[in-house]
Structure 1
Amino acid sequence: MGPDPRIDTSVPHSARVWNFLLGGKDNYPVDRQAGEEVFKTFPGMVDMARQSRRMLIRVVRYLAGEAGIRQFLDIGTGLPTMDNTHEVAQRTAPEARIVYVDNDPLVLLHARTLLTSSPEGATDYIEADVRDPDAILAQAARTLDLTRPVALMLMGILGLVDDYDQARAIVGRLMAALPAGSYLAVYDGTDTDPAYVEAIRAYNAGSGAIAYTPRSPQQIAGYLDGLDPVEPGVVPVTRWRPDPHAPAEVPDVACVGGVARKG
């Protein structure tokens, strides 16, 4: 079987660039070149990618454990790496059900890796765009019971929606469809580090990929408005419930995130 004609290997894709920064192999020369250019301007990008991923793991562990969540809607999941959402959740709760959403055909080709669920649980994959929340919700209902609490995960994806009001509206539409007891988890890059902002500006201008928009920590916290924040609130990803055995002094990165509960 030949390559999927929808995969454009002449233009970087955020999921594949992120995969490269995390040390993965599911990327193309154009993605590696884009990642290297970002790294030249902002050497902290690799650390930021890894620290963000570690926060995601801690968030899922919290949601499946202390919060008792058994359903996850992970939008903008990207390519499979170690400790994907379903793996972390099902280690705590084998019956957990996870729906992954992405719009990259390469991710779809790797879905069989993502879809390796525990026998007690379930996973599904939706090829859809975060800008179409109604389509996502309709398809997610095949696997998730949307009358029961769901953890909505928007990790590093809302920066790809260039209009902030539209990004907030997407969050609002998705959360409105979920019942009380559901959770929202987000992180995104911030405009607080000039080197990171310049690296992203150059990436947006020169790569041809979908532009990414770093936002202020206050704007990112705005996604959680109207929900009950989980301690410690919206903070740099390194500070969100760090593992007890983690180094005491981990430098902050230009990325903040948080978790909140729908009352």
Structure 2
Amino acid sequence: MDSEWIPPEVDSQRPSVARVYDFLLGGGHNFASDRDLATGLLRIEPQARELAHANRAFLRRAVRAAARAGVDQFVDIGSGIPTQGNVHEVAQSVNPDARVVYVDNDDVAVAHSRSILAGNDRATVIQADMRRPREILAHPELNRVVDLAKPVAFLLVAALHLVKDEEDPAGIAAALRDAGAPGSHLVLSHLTHEAQPGKTAAIGKLYDRATSPAVSRSHAEILRFFDGWDLLDPGLVYVPLWRPDDDDEVKDPERFLVFGGVGRRP
């Protein structure tokens, strides 16, 4: 890993969920500790790379759908380390005037995001913890780029399963809903134990070593995060089934372990 991207306060010995995800997506902004955890994950789930790419593809399709619906502001919470097909690239390909705020608490993710976004006056990054959504919504940099009085697409992609029940993940989704103007969207994907409880339990145990847990939840539990939002078709489904780009049949969708959906604020 290029030392240029290592802020001095980073603990390289403790795996970061953002950097593990970066490794699975083929990125280079990760440490040996992250690769060790990813190797353990690949032993539990040999298709982990494919699953990570499927989740990322869901994000891109959902952003495109929101942009085509007229939303031109995006707040990506738990955004991770930027990779190919970032939110601002997808949104601005539909609407060049689209504005994007990335939010993450990982030092490496924020440092690399700042480098990538340098000179882009319609995209920015702030370092903040998704467990404190009101602080995020009140952040001056977010409010410089985004007008909360107008529709915003809030993204919680592979994010809320990093939040324990006692940290009130439903409260995070509710705070975004309450802040969003009518026409705002919620894009959410989340690890589930519905199809393979033994496998997701093993993943959760592995992530106990990392900066954040991996809390799998049922379809009904994840659906509750959409309280107050109108769920768009096809509803809350395994991520490759959410408005796929082509008509290819997805075999064994439950093997993807992650549900995804998009809600619209009425």
State if a TM-score over 0.5 links the two structures. yes
- Tell me whether 1:51 sits opposite 2:54 in the alignment: yes
Mean Cα displacement is larger for which, 36-45 or 81-90? 36-45
Cα offset, 1:153, TM superposition: 0.5
Where 1:223 maps in the other structure, the secondary structure is helix
**What is the aligned partner in structure 1 of residue 125 from structure 2?**
125
CA deviation after TM superposition for structure 1 residue 183, in Å: 0.7
SS in 2 for 1:74: strand
Whether the 8 Å CA contact 1:196–1:254 is kept in 2: the answer is no
Structure 2 residue runs without a partner (length 5+): none
Structure 1 position 200 matched with structure 2 position 203: yes
Quote the Cα distance in structure 2 between the aligned partners of 1:40 and 1:96: 40
TM-score, structure 2 normalization: 0.92
Partner deviation per Cα, 1:218-263 (whole Å, 9 max, x = no partner): 111111122111100100001000012x632343111001001101
Match of 2:252 in 1: 251
1:68 to 2:70 alignment? yes
Q: Structure 1: 5+ residue runs without aligned partners? A: none
Cα distance, 1:208–1:224 mapped onto 2, change above 3 Å: closer
Deviation at 1:165, TM superposition (A): 7.2
Where in structure 2 are the equivalents of 1:143-222 lying within 5 Å? Answer: 143-163=145-165, 166-192=168-194, 193-205=196-208, 207-222=209-224
CA shift in 2, pair 1:168/1:43, >3 Å: same
Q: Which residue of 1 aligns with 2:8?
A: 5
Q: Cα RMSD between the aligned structures?
A: 1.8
Summarize the Cα distance change of 1:174–1:117 in structure 2 as closer, same or farther, 3 Å threshold.
Answer: farther
Query: Would the alpha carbon gap of residues 21 and 195 (structure 1) be closer, same or farther in structure 2, given more than 3 Å must change?
Result: farther
Deviations along 1:23-80, whole A, 9 cap, x unmatched?
1111001000000101101112222111101100100111111x11100010000001
- Relative distance call for 1:220 and 1:251 in structure 2 (3 A) is same
Alignment partners' CA distance in 2, 1:114 and 1:59: 22
Q: How far apart, CA to CA, are the structure 1 residues paired with 2:99 and 2:172?
A: 22
Q: State the AA in 2 paired with 1:47.
A: E
What secondary structure does 1:5 align onto? coil
In structure 1, distance between residues paired with 2:50 and 2:118: 28
- Residue 41 (structure 2) pairs with residue 38 (structure 1): yes
Native 8 Å contact 1:41 1:198 kept in 2: no
Q: Per-residue deviation at 1:134?
A: 1.3
Question: Cα–Cα, structure 1 residues 209 and 53, in superposed 2: closer, same or farther, change >3 Å?
Answer: same
SS of equivalent to 1:78: coil
| Residue of structure 2 equivalent to 1:136 | 136
Letter of the aligned partner of 2:107 in structure 1?
Answer: P
Alpha-carbon distance in 1 for matches of 2:201, 2:176: 32
Q: How far apart are residue 170 of structure 1 and its match?
A: 1.2
> Structure 1 residues 259 and 117, CA, compared in 2 at 3 Å: closer, same or farther?
farther
| Structural mapping, 1:58-97, within 5 Å | 58-65=61-68, 67-97=69-99
Q: Aligned letter for 2:215?
A: T
Distance in 1 (CA, whole Å) between partners of 2:52 and 2:61 is 15
Cross-structure match for 2:31: 28
Match of 2:103? Answer: 101
User: Which protein is richer in helix relative to its size?
Assistant: 2
Q: After the TM superposition, which of the residue ranges 188-197 and 73-82 deviates more from structure 2? A: 188-197
Q: Percent identity?
A: 38
Counterpart code for 1:21: L
CA distance in 2, matches of 1:169, 1:208: 23
For 1:163 and 1:202, how far apart are their aligned partners in 2? 16
Give TM-score, length-normalised by structure 1: 0.93
How many residue pairs get aligned? The number is 258
**Aligned partner of residue 126 in structure 2, secondary structure:** strand
